[in-house]
Structure 1
C-alpha cells in the first residue's frame, strides 16, 4: 500500500466503526478493565478488521501494539469519548493517525454522531468534509472560548470554557474555529491515541499544539502520557501555556 492509499484506508476504518456501533444495544462497561466500555471493544474489533493485512503496524488504546517495527504504524483510538457515548452525549469519535519515520503522515478523525470527517496529510493541509479548516484567529485569553479536559484549580483567565469530553474532537474544534483553544488540566491523563490524529489536523490547519511540560507529543510508547495544549494563534498559546504551567506539573522520572 502506497501513501496515496492511506486516506482511503483510514476512511474505511472510520466507516467500519460507525457500522459496528449502529446496532449496538449494550453501551455499558465491558467488564474487562476499569474505564473500558463494550463500545470500545466493538469499535476496536472493527478497526482491526480493516487494518489487518494492510501492511501497517498498529498502536491501539484498546488492544495494544502490533508490529511497531513496520514502516508505517496506525495510532488508533477506536472510540474517543466512550463515556459520552455510554451516556448518549453526542460528542465522540474515532481517531486514526499513520506515523512513519518522519512523524505523523495522514490523519482521520470521524465524529461518530454527525459523520463529519477531519482529515489531514503532512504538508498537504487539513479539511473537514473536504473544506479547508479555518481557525478563529483569537489571540487573547480573556476573549477566548477554551475547551478543557480535567478541572483546573482556579479560573485561568478565559472568557468562557467548555468541558466536552473527547480530546480528539476538542482539538479538531480548535482547528475549525469552534473553540479558540484547548487545555488539558489533568496530570498525564492522555495517551498518544487521544490526540495524535487531531494534532496533525491542527498543525496542518496552522494551529500550534504542544505538551504543557515541553515533552515530545509524537511517541509510539503505549504507556506514555502527555498534557496537550492548543490555541488558534501563537500569542494565545503563549498566554494559555503560562496559565496552565502554574499548576499540575508531572512527577519527576524515577
Structure 2
C-alpha cells in the first residue's frame, strides 16, 4: 500500500484538476436535472468531474475501492482495504448560482476511518488537507480549531431558522450564524477557526463528510453525530445519522443541547 502522504499528493492534484474543470464548464454554460432519489440537482459538471476523478484515481490505485455521490454504488467496495470517497462538487446549488461555497472533496478511507483527505474550494483558492496523525493544513499552513468555550456569541455555520424554532427545549442564545452550502466546507471553516460549530440533525452521506471529518479532527475539533458518537465509514449504507462539528471546548455544550433528540432511522 502507498504511504498516506503519497495518497494525499495524488488526491490533492486530482481535486485541483476537477475544480478547474468545474469552473471552466460553468463558464461555458451548465445543463442540469434533478435526481429521482431525492430531488437534488446534478449538473453536467458534477458528472464530468466525477468521471475525471474516477479515471485519474482508479488508474493510479487500481486496487482501491470507489464510493462517490455521482457513481452507482458497487458493493465490491465493502471488501476493499482502502477506498476513495468522493464528492466531485459538494454544494452544487452554490456552484450553480456562482457562489463560492462549493468544494471538491476526496478522502482515502482505510479500516472504516479516513487516512488522507482534501477539500478544495476553487473560487476561494482554499485547499484543506490532512493525513491521519499529522495535523491539518490550509494552503500548506497548519490550522487549529478555536478555543471557544461558550455557545453565546459563537460562530455557528447553519440555518438561522432552525436555531430560532420554538421547539428547542433550551432556546439558543445569540450567535453569529451564517450559511454555507457545502457540508465539507462547513467542517473546514471550523477546522481553521473561522467558525466554532455546525449542526445537522439530518443524515449526511460519507462523501459529504469523510475528507473534512479527518481535517477537522486533525485540527483538534470534535466530529461525530448528535449523540457524540464518532463516524465509521464504508458501511453497507454509506451515511451517518447526523452531524456535530465543534471546537473541542464548545462541543460538550453543543451535545448537551441536542443529544436528547430522537431522529428517524
Query: Normalising by structure 2, what TM-score?
Result: 0.86
| 1: CA distance, partners of 2:199 / 2:35 | 30
Give unpaired runs (5+ residues) of structure 1.
none
Q: Give the aligned partner of residue 30 of structure 2.
A: 27
- Which range moved further: 155-164 or 87-96? 155-164
RMSD: 2.1
Alignment partner of 2:162 out of 151, 163, 166? 151
Q: Give the aligned partner of residue 120 of structure 2.
A: 110
Give 3-state SS (helix, strand or coil) of 1:2's partner.
Answer: coil
Maintained 8 Å contact 1:136/1:177: yes
Give unpaired runs (5+ residues) of structure 2.
none
Give 3-state SS (helix, strand or coil) of 1:172's partner.
Answer: helix
Maintained 8 Å contact 1:7/1:108: yes
| 2: CA distance, partners of 1:43 / 1:121 | 23
Q: Deviations over 1:145-195 (max 9, x none)?
A: 1111583424522422111111111110001011011111x422x111111
Is 2:218 the partner of 1:241? no
Is 2:85 the partner of 1:83? no
| 1: CA distance, partners of 2:119 / 2:86 | 10
| 1: CA distance, partners of 2:260 / 2:35 | 37
| 2: CA distance, partners of 1:30 / 1:164 | 22
Alignment partner of 1:65 out of 73, 86, 103? 73
- Which range moved further: 132-141 or 17-26? 17-26
Aligned residue-pair number: 248
Maintained 8 Å contact 2:196/2:246: yes
Query: Normalising by structure 1, what TM-score?
Result: 0.89
Q: Give the aligned partner of residue 219 of structure 1.
A: 233
Give 3-state SS (helix, strand or coil) of 1:113's partner.
Answer: helix
Is 2:168 the partner of 1:162? no
| 2: CA distance, partners of 1:207 / 1:216 | 12
